[in-house]
């Protein structure tokens, strides 16, 4: 391997491909690093390693180099746009990219070439980010892959799960094949791959980030958010992609956001001309006096022993850092969680109405089974599921009555063993504990932040999750950054 592939330079012992966005931004803005050279390093690394890791569906090398050259010209001329200017980013292949195929992991969409960018991609381009390509995912952003497409490989262990839908985003970010990525989350698909691959994943408040130009799975629960190698990087990316959008009816407009945050501490973070908080500049505030809720039974029952211990140790550390730990009672929420497949599969059928059932035979066995299940959901079953969803949302409002943040694992165990046959289908149902820490926060749309919290005895990453109230991303990022700054787990990288 040459120096470019290794990312060798005399600026730091950390190779370029593993530097955080904030570190790269400092080098780019000071003109100590060229966006063109950085992009070449990343493209070379993709060429050397992604044949095995299979994180990219499409690499847009020519467009990436053109964007890097433009960024270099602008920065040289003194026109620096901000901390994503010249930074190489990967995008999950369900976000529209003008002139570049967007397949959503579905063979039936293999020839789909959008004529415009999604709002998130447009905002990334406007920030000066360099789009390296489109990242692989499960078919339809659900649980299994189409047999015609590759399954991304977990860089920590090739025989372990990569976390379902946003798996390509998790693998590419963890393995240094991009500086950060965009994922989506309908029932855990930012959190699962972040946890499985040992990175940071931020699922924003529902409506905080536009979904215009994004292929749907379940319209009432889909979220778009950043996946990064540090909490600070998640803050940088969220500031860029957040904001109201007339193209997406569900985004929170200025009046709604101001109403939500009125009377709360969140308004301290607002800029003068926008309702997107200045999250990156405020993450160093610390967590003195922050009320963090913890239910030991919820966080440890039916949870892998090493993971439960790591999360409990994380709570103790938060207390040492100044947080007030408050005992809360989450109780048994399994009945609520088990309503999720009914809602999600029914909404997935609506999202695929142009191709299902007319082209049912072109879907893979896993997602075909999911759509078939949704097509058989009766109005009474859907209504019952929504009542359970509403009850779950009310339940967690009570849980949050006297706390600012809830802490628990990101998933119930480290990444489990897998086989291609398991992931290609047919569809398998999952027990409630599998999504106990994710689904409730897709139901109510509250923000979550997943952060590495350890390694188990098999060398697999462990993850802690912080959950907040609506629009409390600035506080979540403060908590996550305080925890991250007191640990070293986020600095570990897989040996690819």
Tens of pLDDT along 337-380? 999 999 999 999 999 999 999 999 999 999 999 999 999 999 99
pLDDT at 400 over 60: yes
Alpha helix (H) residue ranges in 376-429: 379-399, 420-424
Given the residues 167, 181, 189, 244, select the one marked as catalytic: 189
User: Which band of pLDDT confidence, cut at 50, 70 and 90, is reported for residue 276?
Assistant: confident
The stretch 146-156 carries a mean pLDDT of: 98
CA 423, 425, 427, 428 dihedral sign is negative
- The gap from C-alpha 395 to its chain's centroid, in whole angstroms, comes to 25
| % of the chain with per-residue pLDDT over 70 | 93
User: 317, 309 in Cβ contact below 8 A?
Assistant: no
Confidence (pLDDT) at 409: 98
CA distance 109 to 127: 29
Given the residues 34, 55, 118, 165, select the one marked as catalytic: 165
Q: What are phi and psi of 420, to 5 degrees?
A: -55, -40
Q: What is the pLDDT of residues 11-32, one digit of tens each?
A: 458 999 999 999 999 999 999 9
Give the helix, strand, coil percentages of the chain, each rounded to 5. Answer: 45, 15, 45
Q: Is 22 a catalytic residue?
A: no
User: Which band of pLDDT confidence, cut at 50, 70 and 90, is reported for residue 273?
Assistant: very low
* Residue 235: CB atoms within 10 Å: 31
CA distance 493 to 13: 14
Given the residues 19, 40, 54, 92, select the one marked as catalytic: 92
Q: Which residues contact 446 (CB under 8 A, 6 or more apart)?
A: 205, 206, 396, 467, 468, 469, 470, 472
Assign domain 3-285+405-421+438-491 to a CATH class: alpha beta
Q: Is 433 a catalytic residue?
A: no
For the chain, report the end-to-end CA distance as a whole number of angstroms: 13
Classify 150 as helix, strand or coil: coil
Q: Is 189 a catalytic residue?
A: yes
Confidence (pLDDT) at 259: 56
Q: What is the pLDDT of residues 408-451, one digit of tens each?
A: 999 999 999 999 999 999 998 889 999 999 999 999 999 999 99
């Amino acid at each position: 391997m040459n120096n470019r592939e290794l990312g060798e330079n005399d600026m730091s012992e950390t190779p370029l491909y593993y530097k955080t966005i904030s570190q790269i931004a400092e080098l780019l803005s000071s003109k100590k690093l060229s966006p063109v050279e950085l992009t070449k390093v990343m493209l070379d690394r993709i060429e050397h390693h992604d044949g095995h890791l299979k994180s990219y569906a499409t690499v847009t090398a020519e467009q990436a180099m053109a964007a890097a050259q433009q960024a270099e010209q602008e920065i040289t001329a003194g026109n620096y746009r901000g901390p994503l200017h010249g930074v190489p980013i990967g995008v999950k292949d369900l976000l529209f990219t003008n002139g570049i195929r967007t397949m959503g992991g579905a063979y039936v969409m293999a020839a789909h070439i959008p004529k415009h960018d999604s709002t998130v991609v447009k905002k990334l381009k406007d920030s000066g980010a360099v789009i390296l390509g489109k990242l692989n995912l499960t078919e339809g952003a659900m649980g299994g892959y189409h047999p015609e497409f590759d399954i991304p490989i977990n860089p920590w262990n090739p025989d372990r799960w990569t976390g379902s839908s946003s798996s390509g985003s998790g693998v590419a970010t963890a393995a240094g094949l991009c500086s950060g990525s965009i994922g989506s989350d309908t029932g855990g698909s930012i959190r699962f791959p972040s946890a499985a691959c040992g990175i940071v994943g931020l699922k924003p408040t529902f409506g905080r980030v536009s979904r215009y130009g994004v292929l749907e799975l379940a319209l009432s629960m889909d979220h778009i958010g950043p996946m990064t190698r540090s909490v600070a990087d998640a803050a940088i990316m969220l500031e860029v992609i957040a904001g109201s959008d007339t193209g997406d009816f569900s985004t929170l407009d200025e009046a709604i956001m101001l109403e939500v945050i009125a009377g709360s501490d969140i308004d301290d973070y607002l800029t003068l001309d926008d309702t997107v908080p200045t999250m990156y500049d405020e993450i160093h505030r610390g967590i003195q006096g922050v009320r963090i809720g913890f239910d030991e039974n919820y966080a440890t029952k039916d949870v892998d022993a090493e993971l439960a211990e790591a999360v409990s140790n994380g709570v103790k550390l938060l207390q040492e850092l100044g947080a007030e730990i408050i005992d809360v009672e989450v109780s048994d929420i399994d009945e609520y969680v088990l309503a999720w497949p009914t809602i999600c599969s029914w909404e997935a059928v609506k999202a695929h109405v142009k191709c299902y059932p007319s082209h049912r035979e072109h879907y893979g066995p896993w997602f075909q089974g999911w759509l078939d299940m949704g097509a058989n959901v009766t109005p009474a079953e859907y209504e019952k599921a929504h009542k359970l969803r509403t009850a779950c949302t009310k339940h967690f409002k009570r849980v949050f009555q006297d706390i600012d943040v809830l802490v628990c694992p990101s998933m119930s165990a480290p990444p489990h063993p897998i086989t291609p046959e398991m992931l290609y289908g047919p569809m398998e149902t999952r027990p409630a504990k599998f999504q106990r820490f994710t689904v409730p926060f897709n139901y109510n749309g509250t923000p979550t932040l997943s952060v590495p919290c350890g390694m188990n005895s098999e060398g697999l990453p462990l993850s802690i999750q912080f959950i907040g109230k609506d629009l409390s991303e600035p506080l979540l990022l403060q908590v996550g950054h305080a925890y991250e700054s007191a640990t070293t787990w986020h600095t570990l990288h897989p040996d690819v």
